[in-house]
Amino acid sequence: MRTAEALRMALEALRVNRLRSGLTMFGVIVGVLAVVILVAIGTGAKNTVEKEIAGLGSNIILVVPGQVGLGAAPTQSRLDLTDVAYVRRIVGDPSKVTVAVNSGESVRVGRTEVFTTLTGTDQNMSNIFDRPLRRGRYLSQTDVDTRRRVAVLGADLGAKLFGDVDPIGRQVTIAGVRFRVVGVYETVGSTFGVDRDQEVHVPVTTAQRLIGLPRINGIAVGASGPDEIEPLQKRVVAGLEARYPDEKFSAVTQTQLLGTIGTVLGMLTGVLAAIAGISLIVGGVGVSNIMLVSVRERTKEIGLRKALGARQRDVLGQFLIEAVLLTTIGGMIGIAIGVGGSLTIQALTPVPAVVTWWSVALAFGVSAAVGVFFGVAPARRAARLDPVVALRAE
């Protein structure tokens, strides 16, 4: 028998039992749909985080006290500004080292009050991070040296507090203290869930006085090129550990962050896909079940076909093709809905969903494989029926 003939015959059989075929496909459709959508969401999340990390700037090393790793508890910082000066000496170029002190504070203008992240930093911040200005100026060395009460606002924070009014030169009240706005940043988006457009930057010295502690949270170093990152990273950590023999320090690069986060999100995506894959297997069991019922129902037909000259492999092929058609048609419908669903999620919600060709190919391949795997047993049963017995069946 020709393959085209077998295909036509199988399609006909599925068409005749439309409702049953549809219901059987349903399990496969849901499984494939789930794989496509979950992988799209996982991939979207990964892409977003990667874009955020890359958006920070290039060749950045973040130095923090303690061990950084998955599950490690954050360490109370004991670093202060003298350590920053020390790191500057290690690095050589002082303009490539900056500092951060973070604290949650409320920022108020008139009756508008916004609770946000206050970051104390210095004039070198913009040498290391990509943080273009929209208006005004960056913090200056004089601001830091003289503990000026000046602030640079994130784009959204500025808009929230001042609306259409130009904030430059105006007053904001941070934790009860008045500051003068000297600059507004461009929109840069968020990193690790922190909306950087909501931040307010003030001189690090001013921030320390506001918080009442001489500590700093971290130091950022800009390497002069990708090849410089690793040696510099080692030098800084070694230097700090020499200065504080009892303590550990970590220096993470963007590449390492990307690697770690990529691995975590990749694993997460894999787990989601596997869970969705289980429903695909369940769908496959449904196909197997229905094919067995179908073989039983059509025992007489099988007997007749054999009497008329169908070989075992003709019958095997006929039922196998039916099973594979069930799962691949179901797979294609699932892919269509899954891609449509991902695009809808992408368009209507803040969840980033990116459909990847490999998840679509995989979902289709797996559904075809499920059809073969779960179709073989019923098809073999059909192929091995004794024609005499089959013809007598009621």
Partner 1 sequence: MQDHAFEGVGLTRAYQLEGVTVEALRGVDLRIGQGEFVAILGPSGSGKSTLMHLLGCLDRPTSGVLRVGGVDVATLDDSSLADLRNRMIGFVFQSFHLLARTSALDNVALPLVYRGLGKVERRAMARQALEAVGLGHRMDHRPSQMSGGEQQRVAIARALVGEPQVVLADEPTGNLDTRNGAEVMALLDRLNADRGVAVVIVTHEPEIAAHARRQIHVRDGLIEQDTHENR
By CB atoms closer than 10 A (0-12, 13-18, 19+), residue 102 is middle
Least Å distance, CB 370 to partner 1, is 28
Q: Which is nearer to partner 1, 2 or 111 (CB)?
A: 2
Q: Should residue 296 be labelled a site residue for partner 1 when binding is judged by CB under 8 A?
A: no
What distance in Å separates the CA atoms of residue 282 and residue 27, rounded to the nearest whole number?
Answer: 7
Candidates 231-239, 242-250, 297-305, 330-338 — which segment interacts with partner 1 by CB under 8 A?
297-305
Q: Does 387 bind partner 1 (CB under 8 A)?
A: yes
1 counts as binding partner 1 under rule CB under 8 A: yes
286 vs 298: CA distance, rounded Å: 18
Strand partners, 253: 61
Q: Give the three-state DSSP class for 107.
A: strand
Query: Which range binds partner 1 by CB under 8 A, 180-188, 261-269, 301-309, 366-374?
Result: 301-309
For the chain, how big is the Rg over CA atoms in Å?
32
Among 267, 275, 307, 343, contact with partner 1 (rule: CB under 8 A): 307
For residue 11, give the 3-state DSSP assignment.
Answer: helix
Interaction of residue 292 with partner 1, rule CB under 8 A: no
Any idea of the CA torsion for 174, 144, 65, 243, to the nearest 10 degrees? Answer: -150
Nearer to partner 1 among residue 218 and residue 387 (C-beta): 387
Distance of CA 117 to the CA centre of its chain: 24
Binding status of residue 241 toward partner 1 by CB under 8 A: no
70 binds partner 1 (CB under 8 A): no
Q: Using the rule CB under 8 A, is 301 a contact of partner 1?
A: yes
Show contacts with partner 1 in window 313-342 (CB under 8 A).
313-314
Q: How far is the CB of 311 from partner 1 (least distance, A)?
A: 4
CB 87 within 8 A of CB 236: yes
- Cβ 14 to partner 1 shortest distance, Å: 12
Among 71, 132, 225, 309, binds partner 1 (CB under 8 A): 309
| Residue 20 interacts with partner 1 (CB under 8 A): yes or no | no
Give the one residue of 96, 149, 160, 305 binding partner 1; rule: CB under 8 A: 305
Q: Is 381 one of the binding residues for partner 1 (CB under 8 A)?
A: no
Residue of 52, 60, 45 whose CA lies nearest to 197: 52
Alpha-carbon distance values, 179 to 41, 136, 176, 185, 253 (Å): 42, 15, 10, 16, 34
DSSP letter at 176 equals T
Give residues in contact with partner 1 (CB under 8 A). Answer: 1-2, 5, 9, 16, 300-301, 303-314, 386-388, 391
